[in-house]
């Protein structure tokens, strides 16, 4: 009986003497694994005033939003839940041209509230008469990249990239970097057509 009492006493003292504290460490946010497609491209051809090369993982659709005009198209990026909106406008006068360029600037800088910075880069391919500005919008803005292209006299095209998700730069950054490289290919391959303008 004495041995039982000693064992019971040791267990009681052992259990009550040690204080157990469960330590809580928050787990970092997890993200889905992203599989990037192989880079392959094809040519966009239509009756519109422009042509360009775009990635095969994108699907070209006519813009069906209210107020959409001829030659407004969307490059759907289903794998990344995003869309590159391309809207074409004929330039009919210097006043129209100036208004379109100002609109591009205004649309890009609408994201100032959420953006940490907005950088402008000049696009210039004089041999093809393709000029414009590329806007890189950093931070948790709805659109992370926008641009416009023009020949300064007859044609104007604006592009804006959007992802159909809550803007959180840390989660979309790898996808954004991947898509931006394909946007660069689109811009570098962009050409105005001399015939078949709308």
Mind listing the pLDDT tens digit for each residue in 41-91? Answer: 999 999 999 999 999 999 999 999 998 999 999 999 999 999 999 999 999
pLDDT digits (tens, 9 = 90+) for 129-163: 999 999 988 777 777 889 999 999 999 999 999 98
**Closest listed residue to residue 158, CA positions, set 100, 86, 76:** 86
Q: What is the mean pLDDT of the chain?
A: 84
pLDDT, position 165: 76
Q: Show the beta-strand stretches assigned E in 35-167.
A: 41-44, 50-55, 59-62, 73-77, 82-90, 115-125, 130-139, 143-150, 155-163
What local confidence, expressed as pLDDT, does residue 28 receive? 64
Per the domain annotation, does 22 fall within a domain? no
CB distance 103 to 160 below 8 Å: no
Terminal C-alpha separation, the chain: 104
| Distance in angstroms (rounded) separating the CA atoms of residues 145 and 176 | 9
How many domains, in total, are found in the chain?
Answer: 1
State residue 198's pLDDT score. 44
Write down the pLDDT at residue 197: 42
Q: Which phi and psi angles does 122 have, rounded to 5°?
A: -80, 135
On whether residue 92 sits in a domain, the answer given is yes
- pLDDT higher than 50, residue 195: no
Is residue 49 domain-resident? Answer: no
Helices (H) and strands (E) in the chain, counts: 3, 10
Residue 18, pLDDT above cutoff 70: no
Strands 82-90 and 50-55: unpaired
Q: What is the pLDDT of residue 133?
A: 95
Helix (H) or strand (E) holding 192: strand 191-192
Q: Is residue 36 part of a domain?
A: no
More confident call, 17 vs 7: 7
Q: Residue 191: enclosing H or E segment and its boundaries?
A: strand 191-192
Q: Does 142 map to a domain? A: yes
What range defines the domain where residue 104 resides? 57-192
Does residue 159 lie within any of the structural domains? yes
For the beta carbon of residue 77, count every other beta carbon within 10 angstroms: 22
Top-confidence residue, 161 or 171? 161
Q: What count of other Cβ atoms lies within 10 Å of the Cβ of residue 103? A: 14
pLDDT given at position 196 = 40
Q: Is 32 helix (H, G, I), strand (E, B) or coil?
A: coil
pTM: predicted TM-score of the whole model, two decimal places: 0.77
**Does pLDDT of 184 surpass 50?**
yes
The answer to whether residue 147 is domain-embedded is yes
More confident residue, 31 or 61: 61
Position 93 pLDDT exceeds 70: yes
| Residue 63 in domain | yes
- CA pair distance 95, 109, nearest whole angstrom: 21
Q: Return the higher-pLDDT residue of 19 and 56.
A: 56
């Amino acid at each position: 009986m004495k041995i039982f009492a000693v064992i019971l006493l040791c267990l009681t003292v052992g259990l009550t003497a040690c204080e157990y504290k469960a330590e809580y460490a928050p787990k970092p946010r997890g993200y889905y694994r992203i599989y990037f497609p192989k880079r392959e491209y094809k040519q966009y051809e239509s009756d519109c005033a422009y042509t360009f090369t775009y990635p095969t993982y994108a699907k070209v659709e006519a813009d069906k939003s209210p107020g959409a005009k001829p030659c407004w198209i969307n490059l759907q990026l289903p794998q990344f839940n995003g869309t590159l909106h391309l809207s074409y406008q004929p330039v009919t006068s210097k006043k129209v041209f100036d208004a379109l360029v100002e609109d591009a600037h205004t649309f890009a800088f609408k994201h100032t509230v959420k953006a940490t910075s907005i950088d402008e880069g000049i696009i210039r391919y004089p041999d093809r008469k393709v000029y414009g500005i590329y806007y890189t919008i950093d931070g948790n803005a709805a659109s992370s990249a926008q641009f416009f292209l023009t020949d300064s006299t007859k044609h104007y095209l604006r592009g804006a990239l959007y992802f159909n998700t809550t803007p959180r730069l840390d989660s979309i950054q790898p996808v954004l970097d991947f898509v931006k490289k394909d946007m660069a290919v689109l811009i570098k391959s962009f050409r105005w057509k001399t015939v078949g303008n709308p």
